Amino acid sequence: MEYVIEMLNITKEFPGIKANDNITLQVEPGEIHALLGENGAGKSTLMSVLFGMYKPDGGCIKVRGKEVKITNPNVATELGIGMVHQHFKLVHNFTVTENIILGSEPTLFGGCVDIKKAAKRVAELSKRYNLHVDPYAKIEDISVGMQQRVEILKMLYRNADILIFDEPTAVLTPQEIDHLMKIMKQLTAEGKSIIVITHKLKEIKTIAKHCTIIRKGKGIGTVVVDEVTEQDLADLMVGRKVTFKLDKKEAKMGAPVLEVNDLCVKNARGVDALKQLSLTVYEGEILGVAGIEGNGQTELIEAITGLRPADRGTVKLGGEDISRLSVRKRTEAGIGHIPEDRHKHGLVLEYSLEDNFILQTYYQQPFSKGGILNRQAIREQSEMLIQRFDVRSGQGSQTITRSMSGGNQQKAIIGREVVRSPKLLIAAQPTRGLDVGAIEYVHRELIEERDKGRGVLLISLELDEILNVSDRIAVIYEGEIVGILDAAKTNEQEIGLLMAGAGRERGEQ
């Protein structure tokens, strides 16, 4: 069998960490090959080596049987390799077409850029592969799902036939995920080969033929997906038995922690996003908010945390009206927030891990006194959090958070928020991009917070997560709560119908 890609004994070191330690990956032509590993296992690094972004310290790469040196992404492109990165690489104030041709324009059409011609080709490709985009829309105005389709079209525009997808479904809605899977199958049916990084075992079972597993930088092996179960995959990846079932006692609900009344909020485009929304979170419970993306979840979080002004309505925390307080005052009043976009709102990526741990508390004792930072106290806090939340990084407290793997960045944020013992913990997509072991851990943390008597507001697009973790479930649809359900007595179908607006049509509340 001639492999289309062979990465043999690849080694790549960063200061303080061997991100890839003698890893071998062999991909058959026309297959979907999954790459599985815990957060920080080295998957993105391996793919970045294949795409020419990192030079490996050891090992060799063969493309279609021939040994190659992929010294930069242009070489990869020439070899027919394309990559959709975990965090997209698009220019936000450029149009879809401009982004797609960026980097390949001078060689096209006799050296001059013909945007119209390019847009036409983009439209053709988009039709052929059912990848709906508007060629003239600006990136900043389109949804995350469409941005991803632009990235896919960018590869196809360059005639790539070895496609790398780094966690493509982490940012998509369930409907978009189904659509993407179909497209991936269509691409392989045409003879293209795909390597996909995903933490979702269900997805691996649905689309992949082989799965290569790496653990802490080392290759564990490659399995035929049809011959293993999801449980096998999880156990192989983590190196121990993973329990999917959450052990959770019945909630002991106390007084209201968060009371949102008649909240009216406009979104960034000035359109009504929340329409007289009311909900209550009690002490000792997890209230899950289920809904299709874009139904007001983001605006709800922003209005509670003070990031977005409300036109009408009140927000009370522990009985006190906080509607007019600043973000800092609300944080001090007892709101913890695990934000949905960890890069934009969760971390200062240029800061070290220890500085990120004190973003909201740096002006308080013991971290500073009289305007002077107490570095020792900051370091101690950081070491404690790293230990307790198992945050893995190359240089411990000193690691610049940009270099950390996505999952470990998320663990750091969760640790920082939980340790402040907030009255209300808002967890927005808290397990996005996390491996199954880390998900298990985060869910336990949320339940532990609940059992300590705190109120938890969980916003998630993952129905499984909402159903397993929440005590009560509020379904949001077009900026209104269209149903509140007991998590133990409902199911995916009932929630799904409400999410699609069925509750409102029936006039239910």
Q: Which amino acid is at 19?
A: A
Query: Whole-number minimum distance, CB 303 to ligand ATP, in Å?
Result: 30
Strands, E assignment, 371-414 = 372-373
Query: Whole-number minimum distance, CB 84 to ligand ATP, in Å?
Result: 14
B/e letters for 144-181, b = 16+ CB within 10 Å, e = fewer, are ebbbbbbbbbbbbbbebbbbbbbbbbbbbbeebbebbb
Query: Whole-number minimum distance, CB 242 to ligand ATP, in Å?
Result: 16
Query: Whole-number minimum distance, CB 211 to ligand ATP, in Å?
Result: 14
Query: Whole-number minimum distance, CB 360 to ligand ATP, in Å?
Result: 24
CA-angle at 482, arms to 481 and 485, nearest 5°: 95
Between 18 and 316, CB nearer to ligand ATP: 18
Query: Which of 287, 292, 261, 284 is closest to 274 using CA atoms?
Result: 261
Query: Whole-number minimum distance, CB 37 to ligand ATP, in Å?
Result: 5
Handedness of CA 412, 414, 420, 421 (dihedral sign): negative
Between 39 and 429, CB nearer to ligand ATP: 39
Between 199 and 330, CB nearer to ligand ATP: 199
Quick count: other Cβ atoms within 10 Å of Cβ 248? Answer: 17
Between 41 and 418, CB nearer to ligand ATP: 41
Binding-site ranges for ligand ATP (CB under 6 A): 14, 17, 19, 37, 39-45, 392-394, 403-407
Between 151 and 299, CB nearer to ligand ATP: 151
Q: 307 and 267 in contact (C-beta within 8 Å)?
A: no
Between 297 and 431, CB nearer to ligand ATP: 431
Query: Whole-number minimum distance, CB 12 to ligand ATP, in Å?
Result: 8
Between 197 and 475, CB nearer to ligand ATP: 197
- Tell me, what DSSP letter sits at residue 422? -
Distances (CA, A) of 60 to 9, 10, 474: 7, 7, 53
